[in-house]
């Protein structure tokens, strides 16, 4: 059996991040945690590009445009959708999540989805550290895995 071990070395990886500003206090805190963790994993700050958008529904469009450049090894979506008293929460949570997934599959690029979906502000604040750090780890690990698999595919074709 051939087992591919996780690789958390972010050296030479280019990471794009899209942050929704709607719950900006939460998103900004997540961005700081995420970029700090990326740096700790070896991703150089010059290799991180951050774009902000009004809300979670706009995140997939900008991820799509970033992916289309083929300049990034992985992307990260950051933000928070907090339940209100209307159906809007379900719509935003479902559509943004589906859009993020579709972009990753359409462009064959790993995307760490760190858009929180919570019942209230307290739950969102409680998840900032863990979710944002996990997004950085997922982006680096999956970028390295996909890059390795693509290299092996090219080697097999040669």
- As annotated, the active-site residues are 88
Dihedral angle over CA of 50, 56, 61, 62, nearest 10: -10
Q: Cβ atoms within 10 A of the Cβ of 29, count?
A: 18
- Give the H/E segment covering residue 18: strand 15-20
* DSSP at 77: E
| C-alpha to C-alpha distance for 78 and 20, rounded to whole angstroms | 6
Sheet containing 48-53: give its strands across. Answer: 48-53, 15-20, 74-82, 111-118
| C-alpha to C-alpha distance for 14 and 11, rounded to whole angstroms | 9
- Which pair of tokens denotes residue 26? 């939460």
Packing angle of the helix pair 121-157, 24-40 (nearest 10 deg): 40
């Amino acid at each position: 059996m051939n087992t591919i071990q996780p690789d958390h070395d972010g050296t030479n990886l280019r990471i794009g991040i899209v942050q929704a500003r709607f719950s900006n206090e939460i998103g900004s805190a997540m961005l700081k945690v995420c970029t700090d963790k990326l740096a700790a994993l070896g991703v150089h700050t010059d290799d991180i590009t951050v774009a902000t958008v009004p809300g979670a529904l706009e995140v997939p469009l900008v991820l799509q445009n970033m992916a289309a450049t083929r300049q990034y090894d992985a992307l990260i979506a950051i933000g928070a959708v907090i339940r209100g008293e209307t159906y809007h929460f379900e719509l935003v949570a479902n559509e943004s999540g589906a859009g993020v997934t579709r972009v990753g599959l359409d462009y064959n690029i790993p995307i760490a989805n760190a858009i929180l979906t919570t019942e209230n502000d307290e739950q969102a604040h409680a998840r900032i550290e863990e979710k944002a750090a996990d997004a950085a780890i997922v982006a680096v690990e999956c970028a390295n895995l996909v890059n390795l698999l693509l290299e092996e595919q090219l080697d097999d074709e040669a």
